[in-house]
Amino acid sequence: MTSKHALKVGLRSIPLVAAHDKINLKQVSEFKPLLAWAKNLAKEEEQADKDNTTGKPSVRVDKVEVKNVDYFGSRIGFVNLAVDAELTESGQKPPGLVFMRGGAVAVLLIIKTTSPSGETVEHVVLTKQPRLSIPSFNFPEIPAGMLDGSGDFVGKCAEELKEECGITLDHNKLIDMTELAYGDQWDGVYPSAGGCDEFLRLFISFIDKEWHELQELEGRLGGLRDHGESISLTLVTLKDAYKVAPDAKLLSSLALFNALKADGKL
């Protein structure tokens, strides 16, 4: 028999059901990404009510079933959900499978240096690490990490740079490009909204280094080894970064960087 709980969405409660008895629904109901999802759902329903002239909601969510939970130690890491919803106009059901993991931060770190020939060159710092979902044993991407639920985007970004790259930056050197672009309209950039709640807060930072300091970064080992991370650093020129790394975080950051610069916001 499956256990039941309730998820508060605005003024109403939606049944929260476990697919099997090993799932701790109380713990899941306190999972911060799920609470953020419920809050955003309430906002969406409220806006739909304002825009609607028929008196019926455009989408009705009737139930949320927890299919599976993955843990990081004793802490919930990922939750798989099946959202039972209906398009009220047609009676059809939109896709409702959700891989819930919450938000993350990523940073486009641009290092300006002068080469031995006297040329000014801009490089981007990339990390390389195993990504078994692809699979690749050395996938190149910009430094990134999952949020811890504190809401401290800048602090988490600085923490990831320190852990993954061994680079310490003042918080005031980190610019939140997603905030510049969208304000508080969106939590961030959504890389896979068709089945995942993950959003990315994309930061950019500009620093200067001497040529010999830049060479010391190449191949540096980073990451938390006791957390299963195996990271090495590599540097590519800013103009060639898109050719080297098919990383959505990098490509989205480059697009925002160029658009914000064209608008005079960077």
Could you give the CA distance from residue 225 to residue 223 in angstroms, rounded to a whole number? 6
In this prediction, residue 208 carries a pLDDT of 95
Strands (E), the chain: 4-9, 12-18, 59-72, 75-87, 97-100, 104-114, 120-131, 136-141, 144-146, 175-176, 200-208, 221-222, 231-237
Per-residue pLDDT tens for 233-249?
999 999 999 999 999 99
In this prediction, residue 167 carries a pLDDT of 87
In this prediction, residue 229 carries a pLDDT of 56
SS3 track for 125-186:
EEEEEEECCCCEEEEEECCEEECCCCCCHHHHHHHHHHHHHCCCCCHHHCEEHHHHHHCCCC
Q: What is the pTM of this model?
A: 0.89
In this prediction, residue 49 carries a pLDDT of 75
Q: How far is CA 173 from CA 36, 142, 205, in A?
A: 28, 17, 6
Could you give the CA distance from residue 140 to residue 130 in angstroms, rounded to a whole number? 9
Longest CA–CA span in the chain (Å) reads 72
Q: How far is CA 218 from CA 34, 115, 240, in A?
A: 39, 15, 16
Could you give the CA distance from residue 64 to residue 192 in angstroms, rounded to a whole number? 20
In this prediction, residue 200 carries a pLDDT of 97
C-alpha dihedral sign at 17, 21, 26, 29:
negative
| Cβ-Cβ contacts under 8 Å for 123 (sequence gap 6 or more) | 110, 111, 113, 214, 235, 236, 237, 238
pLDDT mean values, one per 10 residues, the chain (266 residues): 81 94 95 95 84 71 96 94 91 94 95 94 94 94 86 84 85 95 95 96 95 87 58 94 97 98 96
Which CATH number does the domain 104-263 belong to among 3.90.79.10, 3.10.105.10, 3.40.120.10, 3.40.1390.10? Answer: 3.90.79.10
Query: If residue 24 lies in a helix (H) or strand (E), which one and from where to where?
Result: none
Query: Is 168 exposed, middle or buried (CB count within 10 Å of its CB: 0-12, 13-18, 19+)?
Result: exposed
In this prediction, residue 46 carries a pLDDT of 84
> Where along the chain do the CATH 3.90.79.10 domains lie?
104-263
Structure tokens at 9: 């969405």
